[in-house]
Structure formats: structure tokens, C-alpha cells
Amino acid sequence: MHEISFQAVNDRPTPYPPVAALGKSVAHFARPSGPNLLRRTDRLFQWVESRRQANVWPYVRSLDSAPAATAAIRYEAGDPGGGINLASQDYLGLSSHPQVHAAAIESVARFGVHSAGSGVLLGNTSISLELERSIAETLHVPHALLFPTGWAAGYGAVVALVRPDDHIVMDELAHACLQSGAQASTRNVVRVRHLDTEAFRAAIQRIRAADARNGILVITEGVFSMDADSPDIRSLQAICREYDATLLVDIAHDFGALGPGGTGQIGIQGMLGEVDLVMGSFSKTFASNGGFVAVRTPEVKQFMQIYAGSWMFSNALSPVQAATVLEALRIVRSPEGGILRHQLQAASLAIRDEFGRGGIHCLGEPTAIVPTPVGAEAIGRIASWLVFRKGALVNLAEFPVVPVGASRFRIQMMAAHTEAQARTGARLVMEALAEAREMAERHRSHVNLARGSESVADTPA
């Protein structure tokens, strides 16, 4: 792996961003009106453009190197940047692993680069079938079904099973693919306070008392992607059994990266083979695109193949993706996987410790995700600009991905981060935050104006 060189730029003059760029959120523009569907996209564009001009639109940047512990990037306008990469989902660094590369290359030689059909029409290969078996075996269930993405898996699992008279009880912070699946399936959706097991019980009990005839799908995640915390899966599954409800757990962020043999929170909580439905994504630890749903009976798998539109009517995972994930899974389950998870945990603990020394308490538990509270969107947007220029690549999460006024840096650690990189990364983030706060203090009336325009943004996109 070659070393990435990058230049930290600390000394650029900082014209203070205008109110228009510091206030509002995408939620303000989510329900445009007017007869012309295309012209009514203008207002969002103007707002994003004002943010772009002021350098406070920290999105749609691209990599100029592998997503490794340090990386080179291009800003949206094309100018180069780079630094310590705290924004990679390649948690164990398997996208750069020589064995994974060799498996990918071998699959190309044998199958070409394309899956030439949906899974229902000759889109599968011997590699993808082996991957299904291997995922099922890892999670101690008999069956798994691959999807083209994790999003397609989550959405597909919900729409395949739930009909308009059924009910969904979901953690309020469940991922967008599950929220969209719920929205598309039934109007009977109850969003329960984050991680509140008793609130889940109360909602399920109330629904079952009123409706003994229809199904209840209960949805949560192994590790929540913006909060790095986990539900009590054992209790939720027990409640589901008591009321004939069905539990679906999304393990996108913990599968491979956490727990015994990489089995995530399900493994940690001793629930392997016990959860009704488990879905996951390959876009984090498994170095590829794709997703899966793991199920306990052939009937459920068959049903999903027919009624999950995102399986039936979408091309299957390509052979190179399947081979990549299969090899990544082999490493995840091997002693090397254990060492990499240990290194990842050490990096997560080091960056959390450094933030703690600076008085910042990161949210959640030590996992690959290290949510670092910022607060006001205006501060987050300015700090985000500063931190990239200082040489740390960090994603800003703002409303509606997180609540209004609770913006945060969603830091993602990798096994390859050294302790020095983790600590330097934290220091650069804290420096950027301190400078952003100081700028905001000097322009207090300005920031208050922006905050005023923020508070009207209570309509999620």
C-alpha cells in the first residue's frame, strides 16, 4: 500500500458564511409545490449552492485513493485534499486485503464482471450460492438470501412480508431502508422511543389486544449508525414470541466488525440462530456492495424471492461482489478477523479517550462508529469545513438524519488506524470545533438568525 501525502491547509482566509448557508436543512425543501416537477427543484439547488459557495456543504466529495486509514480526496469543485480518514465504512480494511483482491480477480477470470440477470433468472452463480450458505452458517440459521444492496435487503424484507392490515413497531432511529419499507407496506406504523424495550412491549401488547388476526413486524438494529448503541435483542425477541410478533434486526454496522467471530450484537447477546429475521449489508466490513436477509425456514426465503421486488426485479449481486464478500467473510471468521476487530476496538477506544481528555463525551459504546456531538448545525457546518482543511476527513450528520440541534460528526474508525492517527484525528476535530465556536461567538447575531431559521425545520424529508 503506498503512502498518501496530503497537505493540511490551516491558513486560508475565512469569510464568514452567510445566514442562508448556515440555517435551514433539506427538510425545508422536501415538499415543494407548483405544477412543474422539475422547476420546483430550484429552491433546494439555490440553498445548496449558497452552502457550496460558503464552503459549508461538506458532501458529495470523492476519493482519489483507496478508503484506507489515510486517503486522498477531491472536493466537489475538483480541488484535491486528504488526510486521516475517519469516514470509511471499510472497518477492517478488507477492501485492500490481498486475499480479497485475489478472490475478486479469480472470479472475474471465471465469470466476467457482470451478473447477467436477476436471482430468479440465472443471475446467481456458484459463488453467490456459497456466500448464502456461508452467511447462514455464520449466523446459525439454515437460509440466507442475497440482495443487490443492504438498502434493497431491508426494504425488500419489509415489503415482502407486511400487508396493509399488518402492523409495524419500529425503533424511531431505524435506518431509512426500513422506514421506507414500512411506509410502503402499511399505514399501521408505530415508531417507538429509541432502545426503549418497555415501550416496544407496550406497543406490541396494545396492538395484539386490539388485533389478533394480523401480523406485527418489530424492527431494530444491532448497532445504530448515528448513535453507536444497541437494543436488548434477547428481550425484544422474547416479547415477540409472547405476542406472536416477528423480530427483524439490521446488523449492517456490527456484522463482521464486532462480537465473537464477527457475529455482532446477536453473537454478543447469545442470540445466534434465535432471531426471526436478520438483515445486513456488505457495504461496511465486507468490502463490497450488497446485502442479505437470513431466515429460519425455506418458506420465508421462498416468499421473499417472490414478493420482495428489490430481489425479484433487480439484478443479482455480481460474481465479483459475491467473491469479494465471500473472501472477506472467511477472513472475518478467521483468527486474523479477531485480530483486526481487536485493533478496531483499540482505535475506537483511543479516539474516544482523546475526545474525553478534551471534554467531549462521544455517544454510544466503543464500536467502529464514534458519534461526536456538535450541536447547532451552523457550528457543525463551519467546523466541518475547517476539519477537512486541517487534514481529518470526517462526515457531518445533520437534520433530518439526526434531530434538529443535535448535529454530530459521525466518525468511523478502522482497524488500520494507529493510536497516533486516532488521537491526532480527535485533536483536529476538537481544534476545528473550538475555532468554529469562536467564529460563531464573534458573529453571534448571525448564528442566532441561522438558528431561528433552523427551528422551523420540523418536517422530516
Residues at the interface with ligand PLP (CB under 6 A): 149-151, 154, 175, 177, 221, 225, 250, 252-253, 281, 283, 291
**With respect to ligand PLP, which residue has the nearer C-beta, 151 or 388?**
151
Distance (Å, whole) CA 444 – CA 441: 5
Locate all alpha helices (DSSP H) within 114-232, ordered by sequence.
126-138, 150-161, 176-185, 197-210
CB of 310 to ligand PLP, least distance (A): 10
Instruction: Report cis status (omega within 30 of 0) of the bond before 400.
Output: yes
CB of 158 to ligand PLP, least distance (A): 12
**With respect to ligand PLP, which residue has the nearer C-beta, 58 or 150?**
150
**With respect to ligand PLP, which residue has the nearer C-beta, 17 or 291?**
291
CB of 91 to ligand PLP, least distance (A): 12
CB of 269 to ligand PLP, least distance (A): 17
The closest alpha carbon to 141, from 130, 152, 151, 132, belongs to 132
**With respect to ligand PLP, which residue has the nearer C-beta, 290 or 391?**
290
**With respect to ligand PLP, which residue has the nearer C-beta, 161 or 252?**
252
CB of 223 to ligand PLP, least distance (A): 8
Distance (Å, whole) CA 431 – CA 387: 8
CB of 289 to ligand PLP, least distance (A): 6
CB of 153 to ligand PLP, least distance (A): 7
Contacts made by residues 260-266, CB under 8 angstroms, sequence distance 24+: 261/138, 261/332, 261/333, 261/337, 261/338, 262/138, 262/332, 262/333, 262/337, 262/341, 263/138, 263/139, 264/222, 264/223, 265/222, 265/223, 265/230, 265/233, 266/139, 266/222, 266/233
**With respect to ligand PLP, which residue has the nearer C-beta, 92 or 439?**
92
Residues near 202 by Cβ (< 8 Å), separated by ≥ 6? none
**Residue nearest ligand PLP by beta-carbon distance:** 150
3-class state of residue 5 by DSSP: coil
Report the run of H or E that residue 90 belongs to, with start and end: none
**With respect to ligand PLP, which residue has the nearer C-beta, 58 or 291?**
291
